[in-house]
Structure 1
Amino acid sequence: MTKLKKVIITFFLLLLTVGATACSNKKETSSKSNSPKSINVQFVPSISANKLESRVKPMEKLLSDKLGIPVHVTMSTDYNTVVEAMKSKKVDVGFLPSDAYVMAHKQHAANLLLQAQRYGIKQPNGQQTDKLVNSYRGQVVVKKSSAIKSWKDLKGKSISVSNPTSDSGYVFPVAELKQKGLDVPKSCKLVTVTGQDQAVLNVLNGDTDAAFTFEDARNSVKEDNPDIMSKVVPIYFTKQIPNDTISVVPNMPKSFQKKLAKAFIEIGKSKKGKKIIERIYSHEGYTYGKDSDYDVIREYNKVIASTKKKND
């Protein structure tokens, strides 16, 4: 072998070594930058918050074990607060219902990661089926002994509602009844409650004449009120509402989003994880969805907006 050949071979070996080292360093840097040191998860309880505080810690641990980083799960009083927290990057992951997700997405505060799944409900008596579904209905409930027999009788009556970003507790019933000819905010007395279990109890106890809830929120108070199904009854059901979302901040690395989605899906499929998400948020599992699934929310929001303008 000539000296020239030896020099050329040595030169190329040196280049390969430098290139390999550079690639290795690049991978390490990329890996580190794509994995946050910790994440903050936030949601708004669909039932009374004091019942959920002890249930949050198991979710933190389960998710942390899956991701290999600390996870902090907190509760908020309303979805607007969650959206603002995501917008300011104080919260990385938000459990957002359809309307709140649409609002957050419009403000570039959140992207869809997963769609929640629940068991279907069949009537009468709000019995749970064994089929997982990606949507649900809202309902209007009244006391069975009430003179209110249809949505037409709601005019002038008091109604327990959720925050205006709640799909079943506000958006869908208000929008649909507006289309039918009843301007709920203008014609009824609205009482905002935290937790749709409280809305059902308000009707049972006579504190309000009716309530807007998800189907079938009566099950959430059935343990303490075994006869709730016979005393409080639905008089109206909305169209199908796309299930809640798990949404993430847009700047979350795509590789970590995949890891996070996989973690939530695995949690929903495991016996232990399923029990935790059932107790926290009435979710039975998670699946992939797409933003266009929520176009119906955008349509209803236009109806809500027109209602507000006329009442201002």
Structure 2
Amino acid sequence: MKKLKQVLMGLVLMVLAVGVTACSNKSTNKSEEPKSINVQFVPSVAANKLEARAKPMEKLLSKQLGIPVHVSMSTDYNGLVEAMKSKKVQVGFLPSDAYIMAHKQKAANLLLQAERYGIKQPNGKQTKQLVKSYRGEIVVKKDSTIKNWKDLKGKSISVQNPTSDSGYVFPVAELKQKGLDVTKKCKLVTVTGADQAVLDVLNSDTDAAFVFEDARNDVLKDEPQIMSKVVPIYFTKRIPNDTISVIPSLPKSFQEKLSKAFIAISKSKEGKKIIESVYNHEGYAPAKDSDYDIIRQYNKIVASTKQ
């Protein structure tokens, strides 16, 4: 009987210990959740325009999460990756290639993938279909002697930062596969924003530009004839859409809360207006890291151009 009591007492103590541990863990997990977060974007158009459009996201996201949210603009993708690596920024709107770089450095994990409306050529109009990928394109002036990718040899090209998928990685990699190494056979001029690249071509500052399909829409308001004056001569393979990425140290429970918050915002009237104006996003959906393997493949090709 004495032994039985000892066994029962041991079981009771074990149950109590498990309960205390569970409560302790619950308390710890809760304390691990951030008391505020920094969200950062990278310019796809003129930086001052984008920051003004993105700023209202603070209020909506803060309301969803119940904590202060600070939205800011990075100078470039590398700056955002470094900020996430040092945990100064917890959430980053990273395009595919920048996400791959950040993930490799253990600075970011994939939270959500952006959805956009598809683009129909030849007029570059939006369709009603939501898609999770897009294409890059090479544009030239309508009366240019450049009629196809082969004619780019020796010409000047407006490009984006080397981590930009449509503005650098995809066109550089695909043209290298075809036999034209633009990093050695062309003059590459780095600019900020696809809108600026399109204007460079329009104003004859450069002969061509690497941009996303159809970046001409971003200058249509100021240049109503842009569709007839600047035309695409090449389209890349499809590129996985941008990501919303988070630093790996964020608790899983908070990441789930964050995911739900962004999806909810994208479905609200005010939120949809904001994400449309910032990156032409129409919504957000779950995705997996392997969706971005094509980026890894193209990165190796681009790396070979530097050897």
Do these two structures clear the TM 0.5 threshold for a shared fold by scoring above it? yes
Q: For the residues of structure 1 that align with 2:207 and 2:263, how far apart are their CA atoms? A: 40
Indicate the residue corresponding to 2:114 in structure 1.
116
2:3: which partner in 1?
A: none
Quote the RMSD (CA, aligned, Å).
2.1
Residue from 230, 253, 259 that aligns with 2:251:
253
Indicate the residue corresponding to 1:195 in structure 2: 193
1:209 aligns with 2:204: no
In structure 1, the partner of 2:168 is 170
Per-residue CA shift, 1:214-259, capped at 9, x if unaligned?
0000000001111100000000000000000111111110000000
DSSP-derived class of the 1:146 partner: coil
What CA distance in whole angstroms lies between the structure 2 residues aligned with 1:232 and 1:211?
A: 10
Instruction: Give the one of 254, 258, 265 matched to 2:263.
Output: 265
Unaligned runs of 5+ in 2: 1-5
Shift of 1:272: 1.1
Opposite residue 73 of structure 1, the aligned amino acid is V
CA distance in structure 1 between the partners assigned to 2:18 and 2:77 by the alignment: 48
Q: Would the aligned equivalents of 1:163 and 1:192 in 2 still touch at CA under 8 Å?
A: yes
Aligned counterpart in structure 2 of residue 305 of structure 1, from 286, 290, 303:
303
Q: C-alpha separation between the residues in 1 aligned to 2:18 and 2:106?
A: 39
- Within the candidate set 99, 102, 107, 2:97 is matched to 99
Please tell me whether the aligned partners of residues 119 and 129 of structure 1 are also in contact (alpha carbons under 8 angstroms).
yes
Among candidates 130, 134, 137, match of residue 136 of structure 1: 134
Q: How far apart, in 2, do the equivalents of 1:109 and 1:16 lie?
A: 39
1: CA distance, partners of 2:19 / 2:149:
71
| Alpha carbons of structure 1 residues 184 and 22: separation in structure 2 relative to 1, 3 Å | same
CA separation in 2, counterparts of 1:16 and 1:147?
Answer: 81
**How many correspondences in the alignment?**
301
Q: Extract unaligned runs of 5+ from structure 1.
A: 1-7
Write the letter of the residue equivalent to 1:76. S
Identity of aligned residues (%): 75
Q: Which residue of structure 2 lines up, in the alignment, with residue 37 of structure 1?
A: 35
Partner of 2:305, secondary structure, is helix
Out of 266, 273, 276, which is 1:275 matched to?
273
The DSSP-based 3-state class of the residue aligned with 2:89 is coil
Return structure 1 stretches of 4+ with deviation > 4 angstroms: 14-21
Matched with 1:60 is 58
1:40/1:91 contact within 8 Å kept: yes
CA distance in 1, matches of 2:168, 2:54: 26
C-alpha deviation, 1:56, in angstroms? 2.6
- Equivalence for 2:125: 127
**Maintained 8 Å contact 2:32/2:251:** yes
1:48 alignment partner, one of 40, 46, 49:
46
Q: Give the secondary structure class of the aligned counterpart of 2:206.
A: coil
